[in-house]
Chains A and B, each alone.
Chain A
Amino acid sequence: MRRVCAIIFFLAIGMIMLVSGSVSAAEQTINPADYSTMRETIKKIKLPTIDNPEWLKKQLASEAAATQIAKQAANTLTVTYDVTTKGTLYANLSEFKLLANQTLNDSRGWARMNVKFVEVPSGGRFTLVLSQANQLPSFSSGCSADYSCRAGRYVIINQDRWMGATSSWNSAGGSLRDYRHMVVNHETGHWLGHDHEYCKGAGQPAPVMQQQSISLQGCKFNPWPLASELWSTQLGI
Chain B
Amino acid sequence: MSYGAHNWVYNMKKSFKKYIIKLLPVFMVAALLIGAFGVYLLGNSRQLASFDTTTQRYEQLTRLSKTVLSKGTGESKLSVRVDAIEQLAKLNRNNQCSGDWWNDWQQTLPRIKDKLGVCRKYEAKISTLAALAMTTSRHINDDAELANQINKLRIDTNAKNWQQTAVKNAQSALAAIDGSKPIKPVEPVKKAASERVLAITKAWQALTVGSAKQDKTIYLNAKADLEQAYASLDLITDVSDKQLEGAMTPLIEAAAKI
Cβ 8 A contact of A37, one of B69, B71, B78, B233:
B78
Q: Which of B74-107 contact A (CB under 8 A)?
A: 75, 77-78, 81-82, 85
Contact A34 B236 (CB under 8 A): no
Q: Residues of A contacting B252 with CB < 8 Å?
A: 28, 30
Choose from B157, B230, B248 the contact partner of A32 (Cβ within 8 Å). Answer: B248
Complex partner residue of B147 from A41, A48, A55, A56, CB under 8 angstroms: A41
- The answer to whether A36 touches B240, judged by C-beta atoms less than 8 angstroms apart, is yes
Q: B73, B153, B157, B244 — which one has the most chain A CB atoms within 10 A of its CB?
A: B244
A48 to B207, CA, bound (A): 14
Whether A45 contacts B150 by the Cβ 8 Å rule is yes
Quick one: given A37-B144, A48-B155, are A32 and B240 in contact (CB under 8 Å)? Answer: yes
Given A25-B256, A56-B219, check contact A36 B143 (CB 8 Å): yes
A42 CB → nearest B CB, Å: 5
Residue of A nearest to B228 (CB): A47
For A95, list chain B residues within 8 Å (CB).
none
B207: nearest chain-A partner, CB-CB = A50
**Chain B 220-232 interface mask (CB, 8 Å, partner A; 1/0):** 1001001100110
Number of interface residues of B (CB under 8 A): 48
Does B140 touch A at the CB level, under 8 Å? yes
Among residues of B, the one whose C-beta sits closest to the C-beta of A50 is: B223
Q: What's the minimum C-beta distance from B87 to chain A, rounded to whole angstroms?
A: 14
A46 to B162, CA, bound (A): 13
Q: Are A35 and B214 CB-contacts (below 8 A) given A30-B245, A50-B223, A56-B219?
A: no
Complex contacts, B85 vs chain A, CB 8 Å: 35
CB distance from A55 to the nearest CB of B (A): 5
What chain B residues lie within 8 Å of A47 (beta carbons)? 155, 226-227, 230-231
CB pair A32–B147 under 8 Å, yes or no, is no
On chain B, the residues within 8 Å of A39 by CB distance are 237, 240-241
Q: Decide yes or no: A38 and B143 within 8 Å by CB, A28-B253, A32-B245, A45-B230 being known contacts.
A: yes
Per the bound structure, the CA–CA distance linking A222 and B249 in Å amounts to 85
B234 at the interface (CB under 8 A from A): yes
B119-161: contact bitstring with A at CB < 8 Å (1 yes, 0 no)?
A: 0000000000000000000001001101110110111010000
- Cα–Cα, bound, A60→B252 (Å): 57
Q: How far is the CA of A37 from the CA of B214 in the complex (A)?
A: 40
Residue of B nearest to A39 (CB): B237
Contact of B244 among A25, A32, A45, A46 (CB under 8 A): A32
B240/A56 in contact, CB under 8 A: no
Asked, given contacts A38-B146, A39-B237, whether A46 binds B81 with beta carbons under 8 Å apart, the answer is no
**Inside 8 A of B256's CB, which chain A residues have their CB?**
25, 28
Per-position binary interface string of chain A over residues 43-57, scored 1 when its CB falls under 8 Å from any chain B CB and 0 otherwise: 011111010010110
Q: Chain A residues near B211 (CB, 8 Å)?
A: 53
A25 to B258, CA, bound (A): 12
Asked if A36 contacts B140 (CB within 8 A), the reply is yes
Q: Which residues in B have their C-beta under 8 angstroms from that of A50? A: 163, 207, 223, 226
Q: How far is A33 from B223 in the complex, measured between Cα atoms in Å?
A: 31
Which residue of B81, B155, B189 contacts A35 across the interface (Cβ within 8 Å)? B81
Q: Tell me if B46 is interfacial: C-beta within 8 Å of chain A.
A: no
Chain B proximity mask over A176-200: 1 for CB below 8 Å, otherwise 0 = 0000000000000000000000000
Q: Which residue of A lies closest to B236 (CB)?
A: A42
CB distance from B171 to the nearest CB of A (A): 16
Inter-chain CA distance A34–B68, complex, in Å, is: 9
Residue pair B147, A36 in contact (C-beta under 8 Å): yes
What would 26 A/B residue contacts be, using CB atoms closer than 8 Å?
A28-B69, A28-B252, A28-B253, A32-B240, A33-B78, A34-B71, A35-B81, A35-B244, A35-B248, A36-B140, A36-B147, A36-B240, A38-B146, A38-B147, A38-B241, A40-B75, A42-B147, A42-B234, A44-B151, A45-B153, A45-B155, A47-B226, A50-B207, A50-B226, A53-B211, A55-B214
Q: Contacts A38-B244, A47-B227 given; 13 further ones with Cβ under 8 A? A: A28-B253, A30-B245, A32-B248, A35-B78, A35-B82, A36-B78, A36-B147, A38-B189, A39-B240, A42-B147, A45-B153, A50-B223, A60-B216
The 9 closest A-B pairs by CB, nearest first: A47-B230, A32-B241, A38-B240, A41-B147, A32-B244, A38-B147, A48-B157, A37-B147, A55-B214
